[in-house]
Chain A
């Protein structure tokens, strides 16, 4: 359930301060500072291995920062479990397909009932936006096409009323047309006031819906601004990063 009440609107919904994170002894985030203002869409861009997924994992509670803090609506959430965060309204759609391949579409949807909606309600929301899923409700999610799987994953963003949506490489391996369709939904979700942090490697599609963009390279945020500001810088970051 979205936790919009009680949030001080001057406080960004999500904020990372000096976040460092490591896999074993290898540090990959070297002090990330980033904020997602309430109701804004922030795009996090950068080359392969920059640490975008790691940043998102830290926000989602899948990894704990070794230093620095993550704040959600002003609350320090270091060490919070991903399931706690999910129930507080942080919806994370991870890299690759965020679906359970050996569960049917319907069972996947039933996993979205944790936020308080009943299964029929979740189904209604999902099938209304993605009629194709209705036809496949008894099919194993893993046997669907990549686009359909990503739709199923996105349905969680619609059905669970999140306060914050974390998206990782929505476009990976998908046809441009489907990517466009998916980003139309992102825009639609954003219009309802949900704050969104979206990671993409390639900027074009995402900059259309983003309010702000941050560029990441080698574990640091190197540039922040509006999409217009950044478009010019992007190419140099990729070449230099």
Chain B
């Protein structure tokens, strides 16, 4: 910075100060958001991906009270922070309560489901066509600090962050409730043994977390305006600060927030669009938007090894079944046959939508070996698919080689992402891949040099014997392609590589001690999975005759993971179900007769509802971590078994007696003489001895 100052001379100091103030203000907001995340993560063990969405919702609620209903600013803020946010925290605790003992994948999916549902909910309540601006506290009045004009709103923001820091310190170290929260972090079962109700502690921490999220949303809305996705992801930026604090230290989190805020402010001020060392048509400005994710990525890489709290002997509730070739063959034939019939009967628009569903299914299929078998979470599959789409749009013009290039490019990108991320697992891997997805969206896919227009035209694949130019033929072709990719995945599962993946998921530690090279396995499965995703992306681009970057944004990764998990991540059929579910959310509203209802139209209503579905389905997963297809299969098997069993022979594996709760139990079982006798026999104690009590 000194160099910059020296170069630019007079006036530069004010400029520098202005940017510094701006940076500190950003840092304050980031700190407030990140501290909430840290508080909930440490006390509940759940990384709340929806934290940003809670902040967004808080900002909208504030707007509703203050701007629409014209309540005073302070009162509105108090209602949001003191009433609505804690209530929301209460709901969150309910949602997250069932997540003990499930795998990290399920935990991630539930909070991502919430994130997605909230992002879709906001525009339903607050029509995105409206204009929502949040006035600053005390308007635009400024004070002069060393020549830089600082608004009261900025001063208040910085002050609030300082107060939050002090208050958190006081709560955690100075109050009994705070000490209980820290005790739960330290040793959950011991905390219970000392009379702490874990549900109450979780409730407190979810409420506190929601309050902090809402506070950060309210403070930043003035600058950013109210737009659900942008606001949500601004708070998501704060995750970088939290990761600098290793999700546990508030002091380091504050440091991370300051670095992040200042870095963003200074790049805003001093970055050149196309410095001489950049190739033409590339813009460096886009880097501003990705500073937080770059920092997140860097902070993740600098994490010490094995920072996960959830390691230990833990059997998760998920089960992975083994596919059989017979079932795979039957499934393949049935799928292609049904698709052929469907291709003949449905409308033109529906053919495209169902085709998209099959392409989504292939991208979801890429998660089966990676997440279903290998236990690695990726939030970048749609991004890899984007690389595939880019490849077919750029090279080999409709030749099969284009598809090959798509697979190779996406696979290579997957390997490159995996390489630094190899040490990471669980939520850290999820965060790293999400960071990569953002980076790609904001810095790669929006470069003119790569995508001159957002949708780059694509020539559809040309095969020697079949003409794919008709959408209906292409649909059947997509089904065949899904089958091929699916068979590859089945083969993988049954091969030694599949067993290695399974072992890696079940016990990374045991693998390491057995001398298995996890690094190579992880790298391979990442590359393979990204390759499959790239394949899906290429086919999708072929279907639409365009590679459209809007389809490969970071946000698009969320429904892919959600619906894949809903369908069932451990099975090829689960991926197919997930893809078709996702397509059906566009399909079904189209089939609904359109009429006016509740001040809107039936179709709009159903569309809104379906927009919420991926998120809602994701949230409900806590109860059913094996996915829909497995669930149906299990139900069928159970019916068969039940029918086979003589009812008289059935034994229950549940505890024999119903569980009585303590308060209602009372002395409901008078002790009989026989009981005492029996007891004495068991203990070999004389009755006299018992009556005499303690003997020496």
Q: Do A75 and B176 form a contact, CB below 8 Å, given A94-B190, A224-B683? A: no
A229 CA to B685 CA, complexed, in Å: 11
**Interface-located stretch among B68-76, B193-201, B361-369:** B193-201
Please measure, in the bound complex, the distance between the C-alpha atom of A11 and the C-alpha atom of B680, giving whole angstroms.
11
Contacts of A86 in B (CB 8 A): 192-195
Q: Which residues of B contact A11 (CB under 8 A)?
A: 671
Q: Which residues of B lie under 8 Å from residue A73 when comparing CB positions?
A: 667
Contacts of B182 in A (CB 8 A): 100, 102-103, 107
Inter-chain contact A78/B659, CB cutoff 8 Å: yes
| Contact between B179 and A211, CB atoms less than 8 A apart | no
Query: In chain B, residues 661-680, which have Cβ atoms closer than 8 Å to a Cβ of chain A?
Result: 661-662, 665-671, 676, 679
Contact across chains for B694 and A100 when beta carbons are under 8 A apart = no
What residues of A have a CB within 8 angstroms of the CB of B657 in the complex?
69, 76, 78
Taking CB atoms, residues of chain B closer than 8 Å to A143 are none
Known contacts A211-B695, A224-B684, A37 near B665 by CB under 8 Å: no
Nearest CB on B from A60, distance (A): 6
Q: Are A83 and B195 within 8 A (Cβ)?
A: yes
Q: In angstroms, how far is the closest chain A Cβ from the Cβ of B399?
A: 53
Contact digits for B181-197, partner A, Cβ 8 Å, 1 yes 0 no: 01101110111111111
> How many angstroms between the C-alpha atoms of A212 and B683 in the bound complex?
9
Instruction: Tell me the complex Cα distance, A88–B695, Å.
Output: 26
**Bitwise interface map of A from 6 to 33 toward B, beta carbon under 8 Å scored 1, else 0:** 1010111001000000001000000001
Given A60-B193, A78-B660, are A211 and B180 also a contact pair (CB < 8 Å)?
A: no
- Chain B proximity mask over A212-233: 1 for CB below 8 Å, otherwise 0: 1010000001001110010000
A82, CB-defined interface residue at 8 Å: yes
> What's the Cα separation between A61 and B193 when bound, in Å?
9
Task: Report if A185 contacts B (CB, 8 A).
Answer: no
Flag if A15 contacts B655 (CB, 8 Å).
no
- Interface membership of A79, Cβ < 8 A: yes
Residue A48 is within 8 A (CB to CB) of chain B in the complex: no
CA distance A66 to B655 in the complex (A): 5
A146 within 8 A of B: no
Cβ–Cβ < 8 Å partners of A77 in chain B: 662, 665
Contact between B684 and A225, CB atoms less than 8 A apart: yes
In this complex, how many residues of chain A approach chain B with their Cβ under 8 Å: the count is 66
Judge if B682 is at the interface, Cβ distance under 8 Å: yes
- Residues of A within 8 Å of B679, CB to CB, are 12, 15, 35
Given A78-B660, A82-B192, are A24 and B655 neighbors across the interface (CB < 8 Å)? no
Question: Complex Cα distance A67/B659, Å?
Answer: 11
User: If the complex has contacts A10-B676, A81-B192, A92-B193, are A103 and B667 also in contact, measured as CB distance less than 8 A?
Assistant: no
CB distance from A68 to the nearest CB of B (A): 8
**Interface residue? B640 (CB, 8 A):** no
What are the residues of chain A within 8 A of B665 when measuring CB–CB? Answer: 75-77
With known contacts A39-B693, A78-B659, A103–B183 Cβ distance under 8 A = yes
B690 CB–A CB distance under 8 Å: yes
Specify which chain A residues have a CB less than 8 angstroms from the CB of B650 in the assembled complex.
none
In the bound assembly, the distance between CA atoms of A38 and B187 in angstroms comes to 30
A47 within 8 A of B: no
Q: Which of A41, A79, A99 contacts B659 (CB 8 A)?
A: A79
CA distance A59 to B185 in the complex (A): 24
Q: Is the CB of B187 within 8 A of A212?
A: no
**A158, B407: Cα distance in complex, Å:** 68
Which of A33, A100, A229 lies at the interface centre, i.e. has the most chain B CB atoms within 10 A of its CB? A100
Please determine whether A115 and B666 come into contact, CB atoms closer than 8 angstroms.
no
Contact of B179 among A12, A66, A87, A103 (CB under 8 A): A103
Cα A180 to Cα B667 in complex, Å, equals: 38
CA distance A34 to B682 in the complex (A): 8
B326 touches A (CB below 8 Å) = no
How far does the alpha carbon of A24 sit from the alpha carbon of B314 in the complex, in Å? 9
A24, A37, A112 — most chain B CB neighbours (10 Å): A37
Which residue of A37, A40, A84, A221 is within 8 Å of B662 (Cβ)? A84
| Complex partner residue of B671 from A10, A65, A80, A83, CB under 8 angstroms | A10
- The interface residues of chain A lying within 8 Å CB-to-CB of B193 are 60, 62, 82-83, 86, 91-92, 94, 98
Q: Is B656 an interface residue (CB 8 A)?
A: yes
Q: Do A37 and B690 have beta carbons less than 8 Å apart?
A: yes
Question: Is B129 part of the contact surface with A, judged by Cβ < 8 Å?
Answer: no
A65, B662: Cβ atoms closer than 8 Å:
no
The answer for the CA separation of A86 and B189 in the assembled complex, in Å, is 12
A34-B180 Cα distance, complex, nearest whole Å: 34
Q: Report if B639 contacts A (CB, 8 A).
A: no
Say yes or no for A156: interface residue by CB 8 A criterion.
yes
A191-226 vs B: 1/0 string, CB under 8 Å? 000000000000000000001101000000100111
Task: Check B655–A67 contact: CB distance below 8 A.
Answer: yes
- The answer to whether B192 touches A83, judged by C-beta atoms less than 8 angstroms apart, is yes
Report the separation of the CA atoms of residues A32 and B662 in the bound assembly, to the nearest whole angstrom. 22
CA A102 – CA B196 in complex, angstroms?
17
State in angstroms the CA–CA spacing of A241 and B656 once bound together.
Answer: 30
Contact between chains at A111 and B667 (CB < 8 Å): no
Q: How far is the CB of B571 from chain A (nearest CB, A)?
A: 23
> Is A64 an interface residue when CB atoms closer than 8 A count as contact?
yes
B322 at the interface (CB under 8 A from A): no
- CB-based nearest A residue for B660: A76
The interface residues of chain B lying within 8 Å CB-to-CB of A114 are 194-196
Contact across chains for A110 and B179 when beta carbons are under 8 A apart: yes
| Cα separation A122 to B666 with both chains bound (whole Å) | 30
Is B662 a contact partner of A74 (Cβ separation < 8 A)?
A: no
Can you sample 28 A-B contacts with CB below 8 Å? A11-B671, A37-B693, A38-B693, A62-B189, A62-B193, A69-B657, A75-B666, A76-B657, A77-B662, A78-B659, A79-B655, A81-B192, A81-B197, A82-B193, A83-B196, A83-B197, A86-B193, A92-B193, A98-B193, A99-B190, A100-B191, A101-B186, A102-B182, A110-B176, A111-B191, A113-B176, A114-B194, A224-B683
Q: Which 9 A/B pairs are nearest by Cβ-Cβ distance? A: A114-B195, A79-B659, A82-B192, A86-B195, A100-B186, A75-B665, A83-B192, A11-B671, A80-B662
Q: Which of B's residues lie within 8 Å of A, judged by CB?
A: 176, 179-180, 182-183, 185-187, 189-198, 315, 653, 655-657, 659-662, 665-671, 676, 679, 682-685, 690, 693-695
Residues of A within 8 A of B (CB): 6, 8, 10-12, 15, 24, 33-35, 37-41, 60-62, 64-67, 69, 71, 73-88, 91-92, 94, 98-103, 107, 110-115, 156, 190, 211-212, 214, 221, 224-226, 229
Q: With A6-B667, A80-B662 given, can you name 14 additional A-B contacts, CB distance below 8 Å?
A: A8-B667, A34-B682, A67-B656, A74-B670, A75-B668, A76-B665, A76-B669, A78-B659, A86-B193, A100-B182, A100-B183, A103-B186, A114-B196, A190-B694
